[in-house]
Amino acid sequence: MDATESPRVVIEAPAACPDGARAEERLRSELASVRAPARGWTVKARWDRDTAGRLRVAGEITDASGRQVAHRELTDATDACGGLARGLGIWAGLVLESEVEQASAASEGPVPSIGAAPAGAAITASRTSTSYWPPPEPPPTSRDTPSPDAPGRTLEFGAGVFLMSGTGGGGLAGPVLHAVFESGDILLRPSIAVGQSLASVPPSDVSSTTWGAARLDACLRVPGHDQRRTGMQLDLCGGADAGVTHVQALVDSTIPYVAVGPSLDLRGELGAHLSAVLRGVAGFEIVRRSFQDLSGATELPPLATARLELAFSWDVR
């Protein structure tokens, strides 16, 4: 038998993995101490997605002549490749260990026994194709290797439009940008919005209103999607807005806007990364400054505001 050495590792289509570099490093680490029966053996890993959109890795082991020795496919409902890389490395290690043992036994020759076949008789040994291993256990849950039922780590960016009432200047509309960051079991959701009073629904007591604010929410996510990452999600949030309202009336006024309150996101998965988000926000103003309307009367902004947002969100991790 030729001197053993570590198998050559070939990675194909790593771009299918959001964490492709980490997955490749993990697979090579799993196989660093594994020996093949002879020089020239190869472990090939190809990443892609199945028809349901789940992440898949196809593993293939070939000998020095290019003959396929074993093949196995593993899938995962998450977008993290670390668990699949670890599972494939364990499977390949078991296959190669079995091949080394068989090659070693063959090199030692047959052991004579009572009832052995007569001299000159042909002795053949059949080998059947085998997976060498039952389905792998789910890897331990962690930030790098989530369990199949756990959602991947969250980093999202989104943009949309909003409709708002309760600022004291009629209905407002405008664009909104947001992001979502995972921090432990809590999601942090910063956003920024700028709006202008609607010309089609003009306020009766001011000329126009411009409003802008930044908001920070802390959210708990209630996943409702299945393993194909389709379905609905609900984010239960609470946070605060800080910004200003500019009122054009008899005297132009710029007044602070500071409000706290709950919010709720209803998210529909449109694909592996894209979602549509319908969001409702309620605010209770804790800083209320008066302004003069067109008649010269002094007014206070309403105590409560309400905002409805429609946005699209892109999951980048």
For the segment 179-199, the average pLDDT, to the nearest whole number, is: 87
pLDDT tops 80 at residue 188: yes
CA distances from 92 to 19, 31, 85, 147 (A): 21, 8, 10, 21
For the segment 176-191, the average pLDDT, to the nearest whole number, is: 89
For residues 192, 196, 200, 203, the Cα torsion angle rounded to the nearest 10 degrees is 120
pLDDT tops 80 at residue 10: yes
Q: C-alpha angle 268/273/276, rounded to 5°?
A: 30
Residue 158, by phi and psi: left (phi above 0), alpha (psi -120 to 50) or beta?
A: beta
**Predicted pLDDT of residue 198:** 81
Q: How confident is the model at residue 142 (pLDDT cuts 50, 70, 90)?
A: very low
For the segment 249-268, the average pLDDT, to the nearest whole number, is: 89
For the segment 108-123, the average pLDDT, to the nearest whole number, is: 47
Average confidence score pLDDT of the chain: 78
pLDDT tops 90 at residue 190: yes
Q: What is the CATH code for 155-315? A: 2.40.160.20
pLDDT tops 90 at residue 104: no
Q: Where in the chain is the domain with CATH 3.30.160?
A: 8-108
pLDDT tops 60 at residue 112: no
Per-residue pLDDT tens over the stretch 38-77: 888 899 888 888 887 788 888 899 988 889 989 998 888 7
Contact 184, 169 (CB under 8 A): no
pLDDT tops 90 at residue 261: yes
| E-only strand ranges, 146-270 | 155-165, 172-183, 186-197, 208-223, 232-248, 253-269
Contact 302, 282 (CB under 8 A): no
Q: How confident is the model at residue 115 (pLDDT cuts 50, 70, 90)?
A: very low
Tell me which of 4 and 173 has the higher pLDDT.
Answer: 173
For the segment 133-152, the average pLDDT, to the nearest whole number, is: 46
**% of the chain with per-residue pLDDT over 90:** 23
pLDDT tops 90 at residue 179: yes
**Predicted pLDDT of residue 230:** 52
Per-residue pLDDT tens over the stretch 71-98: 998 888 777 788 888 888 899 889 988 8
Instruction: Kindly give, in sequence order, each residue whose CB lies less than 8 Å from that of residue 26, ignoring residues fewer than 6 positions away.
Output: 82, 85, 86, 89
pLDDT tops 50 at residue 143: no
Q: Where in the chain is the domain with CATH 2.40.160.20?
A: 155-315
Tell me which of 183 and 25 has the higher pLDDT.
Answer: 25
Tell me which of 48 and 128 has the higher pLDDT.
Answer: 48
pLDDT tops 90 at residue 311: yes
**% of the chain with per-residue pLDDT over 70:** 78
**Predicted pLDDT of residue 239:** 95
Q: Which CATH number does the domain 8-108 belong to among 3.30.1460, 3.30.390, 2.40.30, 3.30.160?
A: 3.30.160
